[in-house]
Amino acid sequence: MNTSPRPTVRLRPNAEARALRHGFPWVYGDEIVTDRRTRALAPGTLAVLEDAERRPMGLVTVNPTSRIAARMMDRDPEAQIDADWIAARLRTALALRDRLYPDPFYRLVHAEADALPGVVIDRFGDLAVIQPNAAWAEAHLEPLVAALVAVTGVNRVVKNGQGRARGLEGLAEETVVLRGAVDEPVPVRMNGATYMADVLGGQKTGLFLDQRDNHAFAARLAGGGRVLDVFSHVGGFALAALAAGAHGALAVDGSAPALALAEAGAAASGLGDRLETRQGDAFAVMEDLASTEARFDLVVCDPPAFAPHRGAMDAGLRAYERVARLAAPLVAPGGYLVLCSCSHAVDLARFRTASGRGVGRAGRRAQILHTGFAGPDHPTLPQLAESGYLKALFMRLDG
């Protein structure tokens, strides 16, 4: 029985208490008793979670308006969620990244996997971008930022309050500079190239750090050949391939600002004369390139999430199949195709099947050489499949 002054929330008798005890971090809305008292709790409230027999299970943050009604904060129901508590978790996260990377460019906090539920922090040298995607993090933003500055020494902090996750939590969208000044894109050195991260107006936190290892593997396949980077954003795969010796690269994206950043990154890397860009709908551009019989030694397609939730899975799988069908004819005989998915709702098996079907419909035969995932600065919880969202298939195509 809870004896603390904190409110309590209780699991229904049919809820899967065992999964929670074994590390699953979420409680869904249909798993807790939602009486009038529970519904009256403000989003982000800290409460003691009890099982159906009223035995304490830990300290959770509650959001009665969200599908994820409670997130496990600490197994100790008496834990104090303050700057010291946050700093301890940040120090653990930082120690891992310091071991992994010689330079301070990485994802510092990957939400539940780093024991800070719903919080994403990307670090770009002396600047950090924080995404408080859970109501508790929004409510504790000031101590969270103070701890971040104290632990890491960053002197510039941007709050990126954009994206679907915040909408699901009932949080408003906004991007604001919380510490220091930011007036231009931030240069980020990775895989021998310089990338330009627009931390105020770009997608996500400005750069897709999760693809770093996949950029490097693809660059090895490019050799001295020609590369097509479709859905290129700021030139992730293209710039890495050029830095590794690719003869030339064409970056395709629907966003003119993103392509301008790709060009700026190429110039900063001394690669500007080998990068071309083309703005347009990726599907239409691939069809047009095929009509001219264009061929590339390496083709990469890294689209946005076509299936961000389960309800979109069927449509998303059709879209991934279409990407593969349009990309495969653009690969030169014996060349390489890289297909990526960042959809939480599409697991690896389904993505591989859809991609293989698309390649086959294009009349090509593929060998899968390697399957890539997010880098180790994006750790996953074994109990939470959603934390392992990124998949990348590296194929060699015959014929």
Active site residues: 342
The number of residues making up the chain comes to 399
CA distances 340 to 48, 92, 214, 352, 373, Å, are: 40, 30, 10, 10, 9
Question: Coil, strand, or helix at residue 51?
Answer: coil
Please work out, in degrees rounded to the nearest 5, the angle formed at the alpha carbon of residue 353 by the alpha carbons of 348 and 354.
Answer: 100
Chain centre to alpha carbon of residue 336: 24
Closest C-alpha among 396, 398, 301 to residue 351: 301
Distance separating alpha carbons of residues 160 and 166, to the nearest angstrom: 10
Phi, psi angle pair for 326, to nearest 5°: -80, -30
Phi, psi angle pair for 359, to nearest 5°: -65, -40
Distance separating alpha carbons of residues 269 and 193, to the nearest angstrom: 5
Q: Which residues 6+ apart lie within 8 Å of 11 measured at CB?
A: 17, 20, 27, 31, 32, 33, 49, 50, 51, 52, 57
395 contacts 368 by C-beta, under 8 angstroms? yes
Distance separating alpha carbons of residues 393 and 352, to the nearest angstrom: 7
Identity of the amino acid at 333: P
Distance separating alpha carbons of residues 210 and 156, to the nearest angstrom: 22
Distance separating alpha carbons of residues 152 and 150, to the nearest angstrom: 6
Closest C-alpha among 95, 106, 73, 103 to residue 378: 106
227 contacts 257 by C-beta, under 8 angstroms? no
Q: Give the CA dihedral 249, 255, 259, 265, nearest 10 degrees.
A: -120
